[in-house]
Amino acid sequence: MRSSLAALALIGVAVAPAPTFANPFETRLANGLRVIVKEDRRAPTAVHMVWYRAGSMDEKDGTSGVAHVLEHLMFKGTKTLKSGEFNKRVAEAGGRDNAFTSRDYTAYFQIVPKGALPEMMKLEADRMANLTLDAKEFAAEIKVVMEERRLRTDDNPQALVHETLASTSFQAHPYRRPVIGWMDDLENMTWRDARDWYRAWYAPNNAYVVVVGDVDHREVFRLAQTYYGKHKAKALPERKPQNEPRQTGIRRVTVKAPAKLPYLAMSWKVPRLRDLRKDRDPYALDVLASVLDGHDASRFSKNLVRGSRIAQSAGAGYDGTLRGEATFTLDGQPAEGKSVAELEAALRAELRRVQDEGVSAEELARVKTQLIAAQTYKRDSLMAQAMEIGGVEASGHHWRDIDALLDKLKTVTAEEVQAVAKKYFNDDTLNVAVLDPQPIEQARPRAPTGAVRH
């Protein structure tokens, strides 16, 4: 059955009054589901996303990967929809759909011609509560997930390094587990594990809807009430903090895998953004990452790849808007003829330069210019706008804070960047993972199960 916007408008569902002039617009249904709508009338299309505040960090040992497995199973049948029918309906509407799971959340989306939005909301609302899970569907899909793990991780040396780095950096905190799950956990997972996950976390009060596109927010609110409004709120499982104990010494690990170039990843424990208005260090760390590796003229490209030619590639990364614990990561491949030790020394020397000499006014200005340009360019993509709203919400902040967050970044001073460089890059909280490349001729074929243990 298809519904048209006009038909639904006649139903006259009661919805909380819309905020007056701001775009995006937000409402909250009685069952706790929040609906955020950004009107963008440039083209007759719309993005519809549902985000669940349940990611791999909410999993338990022994069932790692279940958040992602459930994501796959969400495309199977519901009480009223046959397996595979979801994708078929989206395709027939001219749309595209997919989903993704992270440490912090699981999100589903459809990009469609605007006339198909009501049907998408109906379908998405249906699988929020009515998924039918059984052993048979699970048995085929878990194999797909294992193939995905082989593709993304087991046969990808750099991904193995990052998996190992995370499991070394965190011992108590759930970020130690890979989102895709350990292969052994996938092999021992049952359909009941997926069902339990679904029952525990898939509830309107643990989700929010983001719609961006050629839509009227009042109509979207009415549709949300019609389709999502009928679900009941649930009591959610308790979330324990699982804070990581203080690390008191450097940790080094090695991963052996078929490759030619070595690879190095270094990760320090640093604060995440908690109080958007009072915190300063997370913004300064963000700017530091940009100065080192934010653009083509940044220090790593200029000094390490082009200048001293010590690196084949070099990067710096910090994400402070997340639910769990943040890290600041430096990584890279040494240039041919250079060693991992030389690259590590060069990366450390770049940090030391910031510690000793700070950053220039020109470098700060460039970071700000990039921020401003990116804000304008982002408006060319509905999906980028929806992802920005959804991502900020997932980290526990509010979409209304997006502009404030960007403004805060622009206020970071050179002194603050230098101060965080001095404060957080202590060896005692450092984790280092190195890829030790193995010749492919000598690497032994894997065991028949395909299980990989490093």
Partner 1 sequence: MRTLILLVLSLFVAGFARAGVKIEHWVAPSGAKVYFIEARVLPILDVQIDFAAGGAFVGPGKAGVAGLTRSLLEAGAGNLDEEQIAGRLVDIGARLGGGADSDRASISLRTLASKAERDAALDLMRTVLSAPTFPQAVLEREKTRSIASIREAETRPDAIAGKRFVEAIYPGHPYGVTPSVDSVGSITRDELVDFHRRHYGARGAVVSIIGDVSRSEAEAIAQHLTEALPPGGGALVPPPVKKPAAATIKVPHPAAQSHVHVGLPAISRSDPDYFPLIVGNYTLGGGGFVSRLMKEVREKRGYAYSVYSYFAPRKLEGPFEIGLQTKREQVDDALKVVREVLTGYMASGPTPKELAAAKKNMVDGLALRIDSNGKLLGYLSAIGFYGLPLTYIDDFPAKVNAVTAGQVKAAFARHVTPENLVTLVVAAD
Q: Which is nearer to partner 1, 54 or 273 (CB)?
A: 54
Q: Edge-to-edge, what's the strand order for the sheet holding 96-101?
A: 25-28, 34-39, 207-213, 45-52, 106-113, 96-101
Burial of 415 (0-12, 13-18, 19+ CB in 10 A): exposed
Single out the residue of 324, 332, 337 nearest to residue 348, CA to CA.
332
Q: Which is nearer to partner 1, 102 or 355 (CB)?
A: 102
Can 416 be counted among the known catalytic residues? no
Sign of the alpha-carbon torsion through 276, 280, 285, 288: positive
Q: Which is nearer to partner 1, 92 or 357 (CB)?
A: 92
Q: How far is the CB of 209 from partner 1 (least distance, A)?
A: 19
Q: How far is the CB of 135 from partner 1 (least distance, A)?
A: 13
Q: Which is nearer to partner 1, 329 or 333 (CB)?
A: 333
Q: How far is the CB of 60 from partner 1 (least distance, A)?
A: 23
Single out the residue of 103, 114, 2 nearest to residue 56, CA to CA.
103
Q: Which is nearer to partner 1, 88 or 230 (CB)?
A: 88
| 90 CA to centre of own chain | 24
Torsion of CA 404, 417, 390, 156, to 10 degrees: 170
Single out the residue of 98, 237, 247, 100 nearest to residue 168, CA to CA.
247
Burial 366-392 (b: 16+ CB within 10 A, else e): bbbeebeeeeeeeeeebeebbbbbbbb
Q: Residue 314 is encoded by which pair of tokens?
A: 């070099």
Q: Which is nearer to partner 1, 79 or 306 (CB)?
A: 306
Q: CB-side exposure of 138: number of CA atoms within 13 Å? A: 19
**Contact between 208 and 386 (Cβ < 8 Å):** no
Single out the residue of 234, 339, 353 nearest to residue 291, CA to CA.
353
- Close Cβ partners of 450 (under 8 Å, ≥ 6 residues apart): 146, 150, 154, 183
**Contact between 286 and 188 (Cβ < 8 Å):** no
Q: How far is the CB of 76 from partner 1 (least distance, A)?
A: 9
Which residue among the candidates 71, 163, 350, 388 is catalytic per the annotation?
71
Q: How far is the CB of 443 from partner 1 (least distance, A)?
A: 4
Concatenating the DSSP letter of every residue in 182-222 gives -HHHHHT--HHHHHHHHHHH-SGGGEEEEEEES--HHHHHH
Percentages (nearest 5) of helix, strand, coil residues in the chain: 45, 20, 35
Q: Which is nearer to partner 1, 60 or 143 (CB)?
A: 143
Q: How far is the CB of 380 from partner 1 (least distance, A)?
A: 5
Q: Which is nearer to partner 1, 166 or 435 (CB)?
A: 435
- Beta strand residue intervals within 286-429, DSSP E: 311-318, 326-334
**Contact between 65 and 189 (Cβ < 8 Å):** yes
Q: How far is the CB of 225 from partner 1 (least distance, A)?
A: 26
Residue at 206: amino acid letter: N
Q: How far is the CB of 374 from partner 1 (least distance, A)?
A: 8
Residues with catalytic roles: 71
